[in-house]
Amino acid sequence: MDEFAIITIPVGLLGGWLFRSLLLRALRLRHPSTFYSVLGAPTMKQLDDRGAALVPSRGRLQMRFLRYLWGGEFIALRDGWITFVGVGAVISHIAVVAGFVALAAR
């Protein structure tokens, strides 16, 4: 189980960062109205987890993005690339959680 967690957590974190940045870029270029009106035009720096506790507006922006991602709202755009990247981001988040659960279960 330790090997699973040691591999899954870093790969999931890196994959999550990559898929989130690709999703933001694709939404900004392909669906700008959704990017600006629904998400509030976040940048990866604003979605960085370290600043959310200090700046309430950044925390709200993060929550808006996570609700959009975990709610599957990106699927309604009917864009294959955005759906692929969004599902990849969700799977990466699940992999990180599974890695921590595996560590806790040992």
Listed by start position, the domains of the chain span 2-105
Evaluate whether 27 touches 34 at the Cβ level (below 8 Å): yes
What would the pLDDT profile of 35-83 be if each residue is shown by its tens digit? 888 888 777 777 766 655 567 777 788 888 889 999 999 999 999 999 9
CA distance 77 to 30: 10
Average pLDDT score over residue span 2-26:
91
- In this prediction, residue 5 carries a pLDDT of 82
- In this prediction, residue 79 carries a pLDDT of 93
CA distance 51 to 34: 24
Q: Which residues contact 22 (CB under 8 A, 6 or more apart)?
A: 85
CA distance 39 to 44: 12
- In this prediction, residue 51 carries a pLDDT of 57
